[in-house]
Amino acid sequence: MTPDELEALRLRLSRHPGLCGKEEIQLPAGMFPALPFPALGPAAALGDDAALLPGLSGALLLASEGMDPALVAEDPWFAGWCGVLVNLSDIAAMGGRPVALVNSLWARGEPQARQLLAGMRQAADTFAVPVVGGHTNLHSPYDALAVAVLGVAPGPVLSARAARPGDRCHLLVNTRGRLYRHYPFWDAATQAEPALLRRHLALPVQLAAAGLVRAAKDISMGGLVGTAEMFAEAAGCGLELQLEALEPPAGLSLEAWLTCFPSFGFLLAVPPERAEELRRRSASHPELLCADIGGFQAGDPGVVLRAAGARCPLRPPRQPLTGFGALADL
């Protein structure tokens, strides 16, 4: 190979898309702490083929969320924030604590990607859960974000399938918030003190360890009523919701409260004999509402709405919602 041929080869290699594309990693590399677990040394620094995590004691929990494309396009910072928050809530709902996050990001350019990453960084810092890796593409024909989290359950796992007929359904939610812009998102987090939010996130783990909760479900995009339907489906029993027991925050209608997505909100299946202790413990968090809003019953899986002495099923009986029913139905 002549010097000219070597130079020509070098030029082609240096311009290869597979090489040049790696320059896009500089954006997230400059936005997240390089050493999320200092005690593990340089091997745990960001940028390796996989993230090195500390040893964990307990059952491992894994969750992921893909963000609504419309939200990613219109409010990328909030989409990044939510990508972290919803994953952390999923881990907490199972009686776990989050350990580390990863993301996959596609963007049409750096400005949009920077906002998505900034939202993720803000949430990761707020809840003290590191982002340890991911995938970045800044030359995508569309904007998209997915986030995943690894967690650990140190004590009892709060599986939704563990709810039993006779359990009471309690709503645990932070009511000190507001609707975020024009979205059906009840935001009690973006303006709150990080230390307070961390205490809230740790509460389901503490309730599980104390044996006060048999099962739990994070209130998701389906809202309270949609989450209740998924809860009943997974447990394989009915769930009657007493609408009079639901008190929406001031200025919010009952329907909006039933369908919004709260930043901190869980449905809990509670043995009746543990309900008083649950409420006592929750009282130490005055910003949280802990209310008995119904009960699990034997019968067809699904939600029954009750108000003013009348009752009606939310959906036709024996009609699956997610397809993830009780184990006896699988």
Let me know if residue 35 belongs to a domain.
no
pLDDT digits (tens, 9 = 90+) for 7-21: 899 999 999 998 888
Let me know if residue 142 belongs to a domain.
yes
Assess contact for 244 and 305: CB atoms under 8 A. Answer: no
For the chain, percent of residues with pLDDT exceeding 90: 81
164 and 227 co-located in one domain: yes
pLDDT value of residue 230: 95
Range of the domain at 235: 160-329
Q: What is the mean pLDDT of residues 195-207?
A: 97
186 and 286 co-located in one domain: yes
For the chain, percent of residues with pLDDT exceeding 70: 99
Residue ending a domain, choose from 105, 139, 155:
155
pTM: 0.92
Q: In CATH, what number is assigned to the domain containing residue 203?
A: 3.90.650.10
Q: In CATH, what number is assigned to the domain containing residue 125?
A: 3.30.1330.10
For the chain, the average pLDDT equals: 94
Q: Which two tokens stand for residue 124?
A: 């990761």
- Which of these ranges, 34-43, 84-93, 107-116, has the smallest mean pLDDT? 34-43
140 and 214 co-located in one domain: no
pLDDT for residue 329 is more than 60: no
Residue ending a domain, choose from 139, 155, 171:
155
80 and 112 co-located in one domain: yes
Residue ending a domain, choose from 121, 136, 155:
155
- Which of these ranges, 126-140, 198-212, 309-323, has the smallest mean pLDDT? 309-323
247 and 270 co-located in one domain: yes
pLDDT value of residue 19: 86
Query: Could you give the 3-state DSSP secondary structure of residue 39?
Result: helix
pLDDT value of residue 328: 62
Task: Compare 297 and 30 and report the one with higher pLDDT.
Answer: 297
* Cα–Cα dist 305/313, whole Å: 6
207 and 325 co-located in one domain: yes
* Cα–Cα dist 101/269, whole Å: 28
Q: Which two tokens stand for residue 244?
A: 């009079």
Q: What is the mean pLDDT of residues 190-198?
A: 97
Let me know if residue 79 belongs to a domain.
yes
Assess contact for 101 and 148: CB atoms under 8 A. Answer: yes
Query: Could you give the 3-state DSSP secondary structure of residue 241?
Result: strand
pLDDT for residue 35 is more than 90: no
pLDDT digits (tens, 9 = 90+) for 226-263: 999 999 999 999 999 999 999 999 999 999 999 999 99
Domain count, the chain: 2
Indicate the helix (H) or strand (E) that contains 216: strand 215-218
Which is it for the CA torsion 286, 287, 293, 299, positive or negative? negative
122 and 256 co-located in one domain: no
Let me know if residue 120 belongs to a domain.
yes
pLDDT value of residue 304: 96
pLDDT digits (tens, 9 = 90+) for 119-176: 999 999 999 999 999 999 999 999 999 999 999 999 899 999 999 999 999 999 999 9
pLDDT value of residue 33: 87
Strand-pair partners of 168: 270, 295
Let me know if residue 101 belongs to a domain.
yes
195 and 211 co-located in one domain: yes
Let me know if residue 192 belongs to a domain.
yes
pLDDT value of residue 330: 42
* Cα–Cα dist 248/184, whole Å: 14
